[in-house]
Chains A and B, each alone.
Chain A
Amino acid sequence: MLRRVYVWEAPVRIFHWAHVASIAVLAFTGYYIGNPFITVPDETAQTYLMGWMRAIHFGAAFVFGLGFLVRVYWMFVGNQYASWRDWLPVSRDRWGFFGRQLKYYLFLAKERPHYMGHNPVAGLSYAAFGVMVLVQGLTGFALYAEPYADGFWRAAFGWLLTLFGNQTLRWVHHALMWLFAAFFVVHLYMAILADVEERNAAITGIVSGVKFNHAPDH
């Protein structure tokens, strides 16, 4: 029996697409900030390329940060698939499935286990993604606080500058951009794979919120 299940509630989907868009914009503008590969030879007074790149980076950064906060909030008020328990394989049950799923991915088992929410391996990758977002957000906002000698931003994030220094923060911030790129490649592939192999509407699910359940009722 094929059942349609409403898995991804609106805040989860909005978070997902807000992050897709903002990370794309942040990676492009951030790369330019780190390595300004376009030089504008025109009249200085008429051009503002780096200025715009930074302004857009900061605008997207707020979407990125707020989106993440909403997602974390929703972990505690949303449905079971939004819970942090779907990210971390802490229950014995999920941990068992984690092994089976991993074996399947590594071609050591034939049977693909079925889940409605995240499979436990994917879930753990989102926990890792959460850590990446946290580090990128903290380093980013610390750099954002740098021009301010005091005030809100300095008070909230200045301690990171004192603790690690600008060069380390910038380096980590820049390096993480590439981790996001690598994550994107793997994540996209895994989603397509799940959609094809499980025929569970994994891809359209993150747009409509609905996934298919082929599992026999039990």
Chain B
Amino acid sequence: MTREQIDPLELSLTGGEPFNLVEALARRGVSRREFLKFCTIMAGVLALPVEKASRIARALENTPRVPLVWLEFQDCAGCTESLLRASRPTVGELVLDVLSVDYHETIMAPAGEQAEASKAATVEKGGHIVVVEGSIPLKDGGLYCCIGGKTAKDILFETVEGAIAVIAVGNCAAFGGIPAASPNPTEAVGVADLVKDVPVVNLPGCPLNVVNLTATVVHFLTFGSLPAMDHLKRPLFAYGKRIHDNCERRPHFDAGQFVEEWGDEGHRLGWCLYKMGCKGPETYHNCPTVRWNEGTSWPVMSGHGCLGCSEPNFWDTMTPFYQRLPEVPGFGVEATIDKVGLGLTAVAAAGVAAHAIGSAVRKKAAGASQEKEE
């Protein structure tokens, strides 16, 4: 597996303007104590030693403002929803907000030409970060997703011009996601399939876990570099470990204690969801450790198997979601591999039995004709 570490020198924070984050946060009612707590959490998410929290705090206090442009293409706005999910805006969101977000179609106040103008101004200055949510259709010249008369592809290329990095959030922007599921009617692709000369970071998930976006931005602001990534351009701090290896139900897996049916005794006892189709054994994500909704819970904790939403083509390759393995193609709906396999073995046994009878008959006949000859 290649571990890409983007050279910090290539990523100088040229485009930003100096400003005081702590003051900006204080104006929004975030105390210094809360800010430091946030820095500690970020150190944890990034799998850094706690001492690094103070380095993060220092860096964020002195960082220039990096403009961030958030584009939405073929998406459901679920990742945006994930960004805005909290009943009370968290420090993390505020950091993202005051640090950067210049353009975000769903949540920005300006509209129409005014909005486009503010984006154009940011892009012209360069040194910005582009966040992309949703896949990009290529079929028929890309006309399946147009905004303001331009195709998603054109908007993407226009916006990444002069950008420091592109962060593809959610499975759609990272790998094509649900729009790209078979038969992929719009020939949807992810950002990294198109953008080659600006570093791309993939933060898949359906939706994205906003903690990982915040941590990626914080890592960038603190160290001036993008985090180390895997072969799918996913940061290792968030996608370096398997769900199955960090899952709180894992002892039940090893013990041989499985939920057989929703709501059965094993389900109530918190046993492993493997037989209910959990895809934790093939999915890399930090859900078990950072969880969702401010660390409240995550799917497996709430009793539902993992769907593998941070893996490429999960809609095609992780289905059926509620079964261990896909069915046998061409053998009808209920044809599990074991039924077909057992059938095959039975056919082999029957064939062998028939052949044995045939051989016995042949031997007898041969014996008889031999006797006749003698």
The proximity string for A residues 136-180 relative to B, scoring 1 for CB distances below 8 Å and 0 otherwise, is: 000000000011011000110010001001111011001101110
CB-CB contacts below 8 Å: B295-346 with A: 311-313, 317-318, 324-326, 328, 337-338, 340-342, 344-345
Q: Name the CB-closest residue of A to B284.
A: A149
B364 within 8 A of partner (CB): no
A1 within 8 A of partner (CB): no
Q: Name the CB-closest residue of A to B313.
A: A165
B1, B231, B349, B351: which has the most chain A beta carbons within 10 Å? B1
A197 within 8 A of partner (CB): yes
Q: Name the CB-closest residue of B to A192.
A: B356
Q: Name the CB-closest residue of A to B242.
A: A147
- A132 to B: closest C-beta gap in Å: 13
- A42 to B: closest C-beta gap in Å: 8
**Chain B interface helix/strand/loop/mixed:** helix
- A67 to B: closest C-beta gap in Å: 23
- For the complex, give the distance between the alpha carbons of A168 and B282 in Å: 12
B25 within 8 A of partner (CB): no
B93 within 8 A of partner (CB): no
Q: Name the CB-closest residue of B to A154.
A: B1
- For the complex, give the distance between the alpha carbons of A106 and B115 in Å: 79
- For the complex, give the distance between the alpha carbons of A80 and B287 in Å: 58
CB atoms of A36 and B241 under 8 A apart? no
Q: Which residues of A contact B337 (CB under 8 A)?
A: 171, 174-175, 178
- For the complex, give the distance between the alpha carbons of A170 and B253 in Å: 18
CB-CB contacts below 8 Å: B121-146 with A: none
Q: Which residues of B contact A2 (CB under 8 A)?
A: none
Binds A, one of B38-46, B58-66, B79-87, B254-262: B254-262
> Are A197 and B326 CB-contacts (below 8 A) given A182-B348, A185-B345?
no
CB atoms of A44 and B345 under 8 A apart? no
- For the complex, give the distance between the alpha carbons of A73 and B313 in Å: 40
CB atoms of A149 and B241 under 8 A apart? yes
The proximity string for B residues 342-370 relative to A, scoring 1 for CB distances below 8 Å and 0 otherwise, is: 10110111011001101100110010000
Q: Name the CB-closest residue of B to A41.
A: B257
CB atoms of B359 and A197 under 8 A apart? yes
Q: Which of A47, A48, A107, A189 contacts B352 (CB 8 A)?
A: A189
B266 within 8 A of partner (CB): yes
A215 within 8 A of partner (CB): no
The proximity string for B residues 218-254 relative to A, scoring 1 for CB distances below 8 Å and 0 otherwise, is: 0000000000001100001000111011000001111
Chain A contact residue count (CB 8 A cutoff) = 45
Q: Name the CB-closest residue of B to A185.
A: B348
Q: Name the CB-closest residue of B to A43.
A: B255
CB-CB contacts below 8 Å: B275-296 with A: 275, 281-282, 284
CB-CB contacts below 8 Å: A12-52 with B: 34-36, 38-42, 44-45, 47-51
- A103 to B: closest C-beta gap in Å: 13
Q: Which residues of A contact B252 (CB under 8 A)?
A: 44
CB atoms of A179 and B256 under 8 A apart? no
- A143 to B: closest C-beta gap in Å: 9
Q: Which of A45, A155, A167 contacts B325 (CB 8 A)?
A: A167
CB atoms of A178 and B255 under 8 A apart? no
CB atoms of A44 and B1 under 8 A apart? no
Q: Which of A38, A45, A162, A178 contacts B341 (CB 8 A)?
A: A178
Identify 13 new A-B residue pairs, CB closer than 8 A, beyond the known A53-B256, A175-B341: A36-B275, A41-B257, A47-B257, A50-B255, A147-B242, A149-B236, A150-B1, A150-B3, A158-B1, A175-B337, A177-B341, A178-B342, A186-B351
Residues of B within 8 A of A (CB): 1, 3, 230-231, 236, 240-242, 244-245, 251-258, 260, 266, 274-275, 281-282, 284, 311-313, 317-318, 324-326, 328, 337-338, 340-342, 344-345, 347-349, 351-352, 355-356, 358-359, 362-363, 366
